[in-house]
């Protein structure tokens, strides 16, 4: 076959393929997203940052929508960005430890179901960073590479893959089932279970579990100077230095056995430029640290 004929044949096959795909899209379904998502404007920054790390197509606003619907103790396993080809609407597919969620980015409508929601998933056409997929007779462009799509496919089809991923995701909890969690933008924060077991999180990298009754003192520390301190045995809060600026801020916890944990609230910047106490970032971080003291205080039934 001559070169011209080969090119002509290639164009013909491509045209036929596109026609078949267009016919499939025309005959395809749409997901029935029938619930209204209420966006939580106070969704914690740690979750927003974490979800953006799981899906490169998320910005802050998109990640906030997901953070608004994820509950305490629910761990997100994967987030996939996709487009329903029939109406070109962007949706997010989220597998969590408790359910499957589909969220329409434009309408803020969503669907929730158990892990068995997706019964059919077939690749129609594969390219480097996008996979054209038939999912439950809905035709989607899924924004994943081939390797990442294979991982997503395993999460859908294989309960063992989901369980292994879940086990990795919850290591930071040190075995507790939280009923309360709060994190800042650094993923510093605390998790508390129904028995007042507390885990202090340093960016979810270092995690320190202890019983509330083993706490002796918790403090807000700026540049090694104590700004606020609560001694659990004395039921007394002490206000420390009247500094007007700081380079870094930590939340320090001392146990009755002398063990000390520190988790970062403000990291020093590259130039170690101080934050003025009227700076909005400082105020937000100090308020977060103060909220940790208030939450821990609420666990002490003997406080006046």
Q: Which of 146, 169, 192 is the last residue of a domain?
A: 169
Q: 93 lies in a domain? A: yes
56, 88: one domain: yes
123, 271: one domain: no
205 is written with which tokens? 């990298």
Determine the pLDDT at residue 270.
Answer: 83
Q: 91 lies in a domain? A: yes
Q: What is the CATH number of the domain that holds 214?
A: 2.30.29
154, 255: one domain: no
Q: 7 lies in a domain? A: no
125, 215: one domain: no
27, 127: one domain: yes
Q: Which of 122, 151, 169 is the last residue of a domain?
A: 169
List Cα–Cα distances, 85 to 29, 137, 206, in angstroms.
Answer: 10, 11, 43
User: Rounded to the nearest 5°, which phi and psi values hold at 29?
Assistant: -100, 175
- Helix, strand, or coil here: 77? strand
> Number of structural domains, the chain?
2
Structural domain that includes position 72:
12-169
Q: 6 lies in a domain? A: no
197, 269: one domain: yes
165, 182: one domain: no
Determine the pLDDT at residue 26.
Answer: 95
275, 152: one domain: no
DSSP character at residue 178: E
Beta-carbon contacts of residue 164 (< 8 Å; ≥ 6 apart):
none
Q: 2 lies in a domain? A: no
304 residues of the chain, pLDDT tens digit each: 566 667 766 777 777 888 999 999 999 999 999 999 999 988 878 899 899 999 999 999 999 999 999 999 999 999 999 999 999 999 999 999 999 999 999 999 999 999 999 999 999 999 999 999 999 999 999 999 999 999 999 999 999 999 999 999 999 999 999 999 999 988 899 999 999 999 999 988 999 999 999 999 999 999 999 999 887 655 555 555 567 889 999 999 999 999 999 999 999 888 888 989 888 989 999 999 999 999 999 998 654 4
18, 55: one domain: yes
Q: 3 lies in a domain? A: no
Beta-carbon contacts of residue 28 (< 8 Å; ≥ 6 apart):
85, 86, 134, 137, 138, 139
236, 105: one domain: no
Residues of 235-253 as b/e, b for ≥16 C-beta within 10 angstroms?
A: eeeeeeeeeeebebbbbbb
31, 159: one domain: yes
Q: Which of 169, 203, 226 is the last residue of a domain?
A: 169
133, 53: one domain: yes
Q: 303 lies in a domain? A: no
Determine the pLDDT at residue 272.
Answer: 87
């Amino acid at each position: 076959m001559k070169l011209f004929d080969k090119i002509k044949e290639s164009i013909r096959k491509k045209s036929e393929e596109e026609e078949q795909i267009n016919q499939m899209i025309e005959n395809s379904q749409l997901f029935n997203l029938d619930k209204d998502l209420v966006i939580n404007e106070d969704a914690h920054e740690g979750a927003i940052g974490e979800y953006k790390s799981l899906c490169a197509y998320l910005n802050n606003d998109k990640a906030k929508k997901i953070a608004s619907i994820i509950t305490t103790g629910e761990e997100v396993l994967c987030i996939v960005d996709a487009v329903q080809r029939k109406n070109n609407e962007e949706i997010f597919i989220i597998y969590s430890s408790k359910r499957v969620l589909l969220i329409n980015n434009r309408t803020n409508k969503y669907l929730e179901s158990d892990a068995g929601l997706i019964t059919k998933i077939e690749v129609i056409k594969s390219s480097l960073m996008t996979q054209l997929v038939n999912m439950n007779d809905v035709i989607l462009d899924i924004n994943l590479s081939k390797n990442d799509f294979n991982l997503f496919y395993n999460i859908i089809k294989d309960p063992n893959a989901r369980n292994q991923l879940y086990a990795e995701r919850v290591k930071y909890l040190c075995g507790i089932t939280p009923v309360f969690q709060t994190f800042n933008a650094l993923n510093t924060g605390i998790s508390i279970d129904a028995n007042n077991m507390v885990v202090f999180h340093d960016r979810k990298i270092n995690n320190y579990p202890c019983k509330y009754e083993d706490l002796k003192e918790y403090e807000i520390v700026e540049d090694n100077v104590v700004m606020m301190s609560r001694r659990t045995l004395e039921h007394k809060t002490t206000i420390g230095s009247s500094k007007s600026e700081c380079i870094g801020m930590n939340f320090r916890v001392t146990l009755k056995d002398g063990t000390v944990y520190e988790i970062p609230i403000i990291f020093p910047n590259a130039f170690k430029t101080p934050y003025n106490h009227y700076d909005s970032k400082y105020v937000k971080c100090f308020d977060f640290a103060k909220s940790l003291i208030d939450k821990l205080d609420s666990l002490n039934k003997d406080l006046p």
